[in-house]
Each structure stands twice: as C-alpha cells, then as structure tokens.
C-alpha cells in the first residue's frame, strides 16, 4: 500500500519537502498538497512590486510541475481541522484526507495594529500576493504616491526598498528607539537612518500611532501620539508577524510560540512534521527551540522534513539566525546572537563612510555579527559569506581572534587558515549533494551571460 504524504502549505517548506520526498521515494508514495493560494515566493513580491518581474514570476510551481512530480495539488482549498489520532485532515468543503505522514507548513500572518482607522480603504498589510496587488491598484494613476509605512522591521523594509526604486514619497514610523530593531543595534541602525534621511525618506522613531483618519480627497492622515500628522495615499501596516496556529488549537499538537519540533522536524506525534515560520525548533548558539522566520531556514526545514517523511534518518543541526537586507542601496546583515550583551564585542564604526562592523565572541568562537556598508564594503566582498561559514561550522578561531581585532577587514586569512571552506565542502544536509529546484517558469531553463569582469575565472575553469 502506498504511503500517503499530506503537506499543508505552498511556500518554500512545502515545495522543498515534496521534491525531497520524490528524490528518495522514486514516486512510490502518494503526495497531496493543500494550499489556499498558489505556491509562490514571498521574497519575490518586492521584485513584482518594483516592476522588475511580472506577477507570474513570483510563482514557484504550476500545473505542469505538479503533474511531472505526480502531486495531487489541491490549490484553492483550505484545511480547517487536523485529527492526529485519526490521521486525517478536514477541508473547508467538508471533505477529509487521510495521511500516513503530515507536514504543517502554514507559515505566519501579519500582526494587526489596534488603533482606529486600520479598516479604512487604503490601509493594508503587505504580505501576500493579494496585498501586493491591492497596493498596485491603490497607487495606479498617482504620479508620485505618498506611502506611510508603520513598522521599520525587516519585512517592511524589503517592501520599502521596492517602493523607493519606484520613486514614491516614503515615511517610516517605528515605535522603538531605532529602525530594524530585530536586526541591528542602535549604533548600526543610526547609519541606516542617516542614509534614509539623505534620500528624502522621513523616519519617525520612538513614535506610536494614535489613529488613522480620512482626509480630503481620499488622503489618509496618520496621527502620532506626539501630535505629528502624516498625510499619505496609502498606509502600510508592517508591525510584525505571528505563526498561523489557529488550525492547531485543540489538536493535541504541542506548541509554545510555534509548533514545537525536534531535530527531525517531528512534533510530539512522530508522523506529524512542521517547518518554516510556524515551527519552533533547533537553532545554533542557543539550546532553546526558537522560531527563525527566514527563507534559508524554511528551505532547510522542508528538505529535512521531506527526507524523514520518505523514511530517511536525517537530523537538523539547527538554523543560523541571519538577516541580509538592502535598504535603498545600503547593505545590512546580522547573524547569530548579534544582540548578546554578555558576549565580547569587537566594533569598528565610520558613520561618515556608512561602515559598521561588529563581531561578538564567546571564547574564541564568533557567535554573532553585524555588518553595514555600501556595496564596495559589503556585497562586492566575500566577508559576509565567510563570517556566515565560520559561524555555521562553529569553528574556533584561536589566535586568529587577536588578528581580527587588529585587522577587522581581513577575514579571508583566518577563514582560509581555519579550513572553514574545507568543512563546508564536506557538509551536506541530507548526506548527498543538493539539487536545484525542479520548477522552471514555463518550463524554460534560465540563461546566464558571463560578464567580461568574470570571464577570466570561467575561461580558466577546467571543462
């Protein structure tokens, strides 16, 4: 009898899980995917918003993809109940689907703002395909839309970057002391705020919204507690997200801030798995299970869960907290326990050059890091990637710690000397080399052109 694998969700957890199951089971199991919206990448929505790609390019699966992998995809349907004891889920049309293994990958949803006026037309979150379309519709025909963004976190700033590229007039409102409070410390965030100020983006920190009201001609007026009034054509509420746990209530599946999972992505029911923004599981540099609502963790969770659902024995070493973000041309990243006040900190700061680097040490191990800089100091270098590799491999740097205190821009030497690259090459999540996603838009393989600056590296590569 064929194993019945049921997956709830359509994000990176779900698509990576189903491909991994097929990688190991050679099509022997029955896979049912249930999702109330098309499978898509939330990280691609800003590219659609800014006009860099069409809406269709945000999708990560289509009918042909499901057919090729022999997936029973029930797109547009919603699970309304889970019965772990009977091994079945109930759908919104009353139908039930039995499972041998179940993966819950229902993600998270925006946290609302509890003030008057959030239900007005033109006041919305910006999290889904529908939200993005709503913003495009609301600004259609306005030469230079005015947008007030309530919340200066990672998610809000991804969309801020897209709106900045469109030349919109932007105002940011953050109730905490500085922008990006879940990603940067106050000093590095100060560089970001100065950068935004220089680009005409108004930033209000330590500011709470009192109400949102209608003004003349459809304008929205955001009233702050300090008396400041901000006019906007559209108000975006980006005050955080929370796991979608309503479906789990009363099911017997154990949860805390999210669904609790072990290092095989199993819940307290061994045949029920969870991953992504809804899963609270193993992380690096922390013994307590934690939610890391980021794309790399979602991909890892999906692959680990899929392998174990297919009968493998794969254990997840833990996710590394990381955020990498371009803010209107200024690049930012943070890793691990970047706000650990007990760690030993090495910091360099050049506000005039918009350069900030902070390494946090636990003994001779880097346990946290913050980087802020322009492209030549960040993206054009490999420093961020090397720090990430050092942290992922938990490599003690020994005497190289003192070297970095004197040479903070020379990460390459300790990286090479400590053989981090060799460790990374020998590390696999599933015990075999990773494979590319199988989905291709319209079935067309992407093409790339090697620029003259990089041709020397390819021309000398052995065929």
pLDDT at 455: 72
pLDDT at 382: 85
pTM metric for this prediction: 0.93
User: 4-109+242-309 in CATH: which number?
Assistant: 3.50.50.60
In the block, which residue shows the tokens 């109930």?
90
Q: Are 371 and 384 in contact (CB under 8 A)?
A: yes
| DSSP one-letter string for 123-137 | EE---SHHHHHHHHH
Task: Taking each helix axis as running N to C, give the angle between helix 12-25 and helix 295-309, from 0 to 180 degrees, rounded to the nearest 10.
Answer: 30
Q: Map residue 463 onto helix, strand or coil.
A: coil
How do 209-214 and 220-224 pair as beta strands? antiparallel
According to DSSP, the residues that pair with 357 across neighbouring strands are 348, 371
Euclidean distance between CA atoms 18 and 388, whole angstroms: 28
Q: Are 237 and 123 in contact (CB under 8 A)?
A: yes
pLDDT at 218: 87
CA distances from residue 394 to 280, 320, 361, 415 in whole angstroms, order as listed: 21, 11, 12, 12
How do 234-237 and 146-150 pair as beta strands? parallel
Euclidean distance between CA atoms 341 and 313, whole angstroms: 37
Identical fold, 4-109+242-309 and 123-239: yes
User: 329-425 in CATH: which number?
Assistant: 3.30.390.30
In the block, which residue shows the tokens 């000398």?
460
Domain ranges (residues) in the chain: 4-109+242-309, 123-239, 329-425
Positions of the chain with pLDDT under 70: 379, 453-454, 456-463
Query: In degrees rounded to 5, what are phi and psi of residue 154?
Result: -60, -50
Looking at 3.50.50.60, 3.30.1050.10, 3.30.460.10, 3.40.50.720, the CATH number of the domain 123-239 comes to: 3.50.50.60
Residue 269: is it exposed, middle or buried by C-beta count within 10 angstroms (0-12/13-18/19+)?
middle
Q: Are 21 and 308 in contact (CB under 8 A)?
A: no
């Amino acid at each position: 009898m064929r194993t019945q694998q049921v997956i709830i969700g359509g994000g990176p957890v779900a698509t990576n899980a189903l491909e991994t199951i097929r990688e190991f089971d050679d099509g022997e199991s029955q896979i049912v995917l249930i999702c109330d919206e098309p499978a898509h990448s939330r990280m691609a929505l800003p590219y659609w918003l800014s006009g860099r790609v069409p809406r269709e390019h945000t999708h990560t699966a289509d009918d042909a993809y499901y057919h090729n992998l022999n997936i029973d995809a029930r797109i547009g349907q919603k699970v309304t109940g889970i019965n772990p004891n009977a091994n079945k889920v109930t759908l919104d049309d009353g139908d039930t689907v039995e499972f041998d293994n179940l993966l819950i990958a229902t993600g998270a949803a925006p946290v609302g703002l509890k003030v008057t006026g959030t239900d007005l037309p033109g006041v919305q979150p910006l999290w889904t395909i529908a939200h993005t379309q709503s913003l495009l519709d609301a600004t259609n025909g306005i030469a230079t839309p005015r947008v007030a963004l309530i919340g200066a976190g990672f998610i809000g700033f991804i969309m801020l970057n897209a709106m900045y590229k469109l030349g919109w007039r932007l105002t940011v409102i953050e109730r905490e002391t500085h922008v990006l409070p879940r990603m940067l410390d106050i000093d590095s965030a100060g560089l970001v705020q100065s950068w935004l100020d220089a680009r005409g983006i108004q930033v209000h920190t330590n500011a709470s919204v009192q109400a949102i009201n209608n003004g003349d001609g459809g304008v929205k007026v955001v009233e702050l507690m300090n008396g400041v009034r901000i006019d906007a054509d559209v108000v975006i509420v980006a005050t955080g997200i929370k796991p979608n746990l309503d479906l789990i209530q009363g099911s017997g599946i154990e949860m805390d801030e999210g669904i609790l999972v072990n290092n095989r992505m199993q819940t307290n029911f061994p045949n029920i798995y969870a991953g992504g923004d809804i899963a609270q599981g193993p992380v690096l540099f922390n013994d307590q299970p934690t939610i890391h609502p980021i794309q790399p963790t979602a991909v890892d969770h999906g692959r680990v869960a899929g392998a174990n659902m297919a009968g493998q024995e794969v254990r997840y070493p833990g996710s590394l907290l990381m955020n990498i973000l371009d803010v209107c041309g200024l690049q930012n990243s943070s890793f691990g326990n970047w706000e650990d006040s007990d760690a030993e900190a090495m910091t360099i700061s050049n506000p005039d050059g918009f350069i900030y680097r902070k390494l946090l040490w636990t003994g001779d191990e880097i346990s946290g890091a913050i980087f802020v800089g322009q492209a030549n100091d960040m993206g054009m270098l490999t420093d961020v990637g090397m720090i990430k590799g050092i942290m992922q491999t938990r490599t003690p740097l020994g005497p190289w710690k003192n070297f970095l205190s004197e040479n903070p821009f020379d990460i390459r030497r300790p990286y090479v000397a400590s053989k981090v690259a060799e460790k990374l090459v020998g590390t696999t999540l599933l015990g075999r080399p990773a494979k590319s996603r199988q989905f291709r838009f319209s079935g067309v393989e992407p093409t790339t052109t090697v620029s003259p600056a990089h041709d020397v590296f390819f021309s000398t590569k052995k065929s």
